[in-house]
């Protein structure tokens, strides 16, 4: 029989409380930390479906992007309609606010969930991955940019990210972007024989994307080409300096005029956080302003800025861990008293939310159950047998100190003991 296995580039995350450095646990913890930060910044959650009409991504992420050109997971449904597993969530958020007719209001949204891109899998690059994202809608360039980078700094701090580098750039307004693209085209067209196929395609479809070329020969040619900063307005330069000055104590910020981002909807300030510890796929979050997207999708004029965080990459960098709650292992040593003993465990669990009580469900010797309690890093074993049920007491054994005596507590004392554990 053919073996069943997961799809290429898609992984299972299997939690294991005792192994906090395990990537699955780091991912779960990272998600919790992010949700807390989003709540602290007074941002509301938004959930949109994983499946959307294919046209949504073509009209937003754009025909010029790699995502739409080669990476969409698109299918025909039973009605022969083309649907796509979302490769990102910004387009869905804007679709949703337009559809709900709330595209004339201000919003701050966060989301967290799986995204799909049919990429060539490698370290840090998956076909199903998770993003947490924020979209701040309805605010023009200014404070919203500061809010966004403030959140990036808070994330780096909370997860102890070492040596993060935040690259920022400005793509200009419609007019300056057009002027710059034209001069870039004029400069590169006579040199087109020296460009590879991919860069030639970029030059024709979206010249700005050529700045992002991975080809060293193209990068060499670009050194003598026109630079975007010469085309930027004073306001654009000011916002870059404002961001840099405001957060320079918290974060290493670099203005990088070659940063263009791979999605077509960006219009102004853009940014990407990278870490050399990640290897080739070094960006763990990215985003920027996309003031035209709402109108492009048939909505109102809605200025917007957002970012998305690659959870797997951020978790790989995280240096802080969840503080484990004090754990107690509840050991029943006679099958005859299981229902009565279980009822006691049920009551104990309701007394203190800051501890874990793990009722060992399997049969086995006391020795093997104590071994399991130690393996799970339990601080105490609560041991109950027929004698204890009769005398309404329980044995409490500290697992923190091998030499400590075990105690016998009656149920009332046990309840007080449980309530006091921190
Ligand atoms: P993005 O740069 O395409 O932006 O993705 C954001 C982050 O998702 C990346 O920096 C990376 O950490 C992670 N990521 C992307 N692709 C993969 C993959 N195949 N495997 C693992 N991680 C990946 C966006 O998606 C925009 N929607 C961000 C945004 C929100 N802009 C405005 N609002």
Per the CB < 8 A criterion, the answer to whether 331 and 383 are in contact is: yes
Residue 56 pLDDT level (bands cut at 50, 70, 90)? very high
Where is average pLDDT lowest: 7-16, 242-251, 362-371, 399-408? 399-408
Q: Is 4 exposed, middle or buried (0-12, 13-18, 19+ CB in 10 A)?
A: exposed
Alpha-carbon distances, residue 219 vs 194, 222, 283 (angstroms) = 11, 5, 19
Q: HSE (CB half, 13 Å, CA atoms) of 344?
A: 22
Atom of ligand 1 nearest to the CA of 285: 10
DSSP codes joined into one string, 209-261? GGGG---HHHHHHHTTS--GGGG--HHHHHHHHHHHHHHTTTSEEEE-TT---
Atom of ligand 1 nearest to the CA of 263: 3
Cα 88 to averaged position of ligand 1 atoms, centre (Å): 7
What tokens appear for 96 in the block? 């949703």
pLDDT in tens, 188-204: 999 988 999 889 988 88
DSSP assigned state of 377: T
- The pLDDT score that the predictor gives to residue 187 is 94
Nearest CA to ligand 1 atom 2: 286
- What is the mean pLDDT of the segment spanning 249-263? 92
Q: Which residues of 362-400 are buried (b: 16+ CB within 10 A; e: fewer)?
A: eeeeeeebbebbeebbbbbbbbbbeebbeeebbbbbebe
Nearest CA to ligand 1 atom 20: 125
| pLDDT above 80: residue 18 | no
**What is the edge-to-edge ordering of all strands in the sheet holding 82-85?**
51-53, 82-85, 73-76
Instruction: Give residue ranges with CB within 6 A of ligand 1.
Output: 88, 90, 117, 119, 124-126, 129, 131, 133, 135, 262-263, 283-288, 290, 306-308, 310, 312-313
Report the DSSP pairing between strands 252-255 and 165-170: parallel
Neighbours of 39 (CB within 10 A): 12
Cα 131 to averaged position of ligand 1 atoms, centre (Å): 7
Per the CB < 8 A criterion, the answer to whether 284 and 114 are in contact is: no
| pLDDT above 90: residue 405 | no
pLDDT in tens, 219-247: 999 999 999 999 999 999 999 999 999 99
Nearest CA to ligand 1 atom 29: 307
| pLDDT above 90: residue 164 | yes
Distance CA 416, CA 84 (A): 56
- Cβ neighbours of residue 372 under 8 Å, at least 6 residues apart? 329, 360, 364
- The pLDDT score that the predictor gives to residue 402 is 81
Distance CA 162, CA 274 (A): 11
Q: HSE (CB half, 13 Å, CA atoms) of 154?
A: 15
Residue 205 pLDDT level (bands cut at 50, 70, 90)? confident
What tokens appear for 198 in the block? 């991919």
- The pLDDT score that the predictor gives to residue 54 is 97
Cα 19 to averaged position of ligand 1 atoms, centre (Å): 28
Where is average pLDDT lowest: 62-66, 272-276, 325-329? 62-66
- The pLDDT score that the predictor gives to residue 383 is 97
- The pLDDT score that the predictor gives to residue 43 is 98
Top mutation candidate among 88, 264, 296, 302 for ligand 1, by most atoms within 8 Å of CB: 88
Report the DSSP pairing between strands 283-289 and 107-116: unpaired
pLDDT in tens, 267-289: 999 999 999 999 989 999 999 99
Top mutation candidate among 131, 171, 275 for ligand 1, by most atoms within 8 Å of CB: 131
Cα 247 to averaged position of ligand 1 atoms, centre (Å): 23
- The pLDDT score that the predictor gives to residue 7 is 97
The residue that leads in pLDDT, 316 or 174, is 316
- The pLDDT score that the predictor gives to residue 299 is 98
Distance CA 229, CA 168 (A): 12
């Amino acid at each position: 029989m053919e073996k069943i296995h997961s799809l290429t580039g898609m992984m299972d995350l299997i939690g294991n409380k005792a192994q906090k450095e395990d990537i699955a646990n780091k991912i779960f913890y990272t998600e919790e930390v992010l949700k807390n930060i989003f709540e602290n910044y007074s941002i509301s959650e938004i959930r949109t479906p994983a499946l959307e009409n294919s046209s949504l991504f073509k009209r937003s992420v754009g025909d010029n992007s790699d995502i739409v050109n080669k990476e969409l997971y698109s299918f025909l449904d039973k009605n022969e309609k083309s649907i796509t597993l979302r490769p990102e969530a910004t387009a869905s958020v804007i679709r949703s606010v337009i559809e709900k007719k709330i595209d004339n209001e201000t919003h701050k949204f966060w989301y967290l969930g799986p995204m799909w891109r049919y990429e060539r899998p490698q370290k840090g690059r998956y076909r199903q991955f998770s993003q947490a994202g924020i979209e701040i809608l309805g605010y023009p360039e200014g404070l919203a940019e500061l809010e966004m980078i403030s959140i990036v700094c808070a994330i780096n701090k909370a997860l102890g990210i070492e040596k993060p580098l935040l690259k920022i750039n400005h793509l200009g307004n419609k007019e300056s972007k057009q002027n710059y693209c034209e001069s870039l085209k004029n400069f590169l067209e006579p040199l087109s024989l020296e460009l590879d196929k991919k860069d030639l395609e970029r030059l024709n479809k979206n010249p700005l994307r050529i700045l992002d070329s991975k080809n060293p020969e193209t990068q060499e040619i670009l050194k003598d080409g026109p630079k975007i900063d010469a085309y930027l307005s004073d306001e654009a330069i000011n916002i870059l300096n404002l961001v840099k000055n405001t957060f320079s104590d918290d974060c290493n910020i670099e203005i990088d005029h070659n940063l263009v981002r791979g999605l077509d909807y960006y219009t102004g300030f853009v940014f990407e956080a990278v870490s050399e510890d990640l290897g080739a796929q070094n960006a763990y979050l990215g985003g920027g302003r996309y003031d035209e997207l709402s109108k492009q999708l048939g909505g109102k004029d809605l200025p917007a800025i957002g970012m998305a965080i690659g959870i797997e990459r951020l978790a790989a960098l995280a240096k802080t861990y969840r503080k484990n709650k004090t754990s107690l292992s509840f050991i029943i040593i006679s099958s005859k008293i299981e229902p009565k003993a279980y009822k006691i465990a049920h009551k104990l669990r309701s007394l203190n939310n800051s501890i874990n009580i793990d009722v060992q469900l399997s049969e086995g010797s006391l020795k093997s159950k104590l071994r399991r309690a130690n393996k799970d890093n339990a601080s105490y074993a609560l041991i109950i047998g027929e004698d204890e049920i009769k005398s309404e007491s329980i044995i409490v054994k500290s697992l923190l100190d091998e030499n400590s005596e075990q105690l016998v507590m009656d149920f009332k004392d046990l309840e007080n003991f449980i309530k006091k554990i921190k």
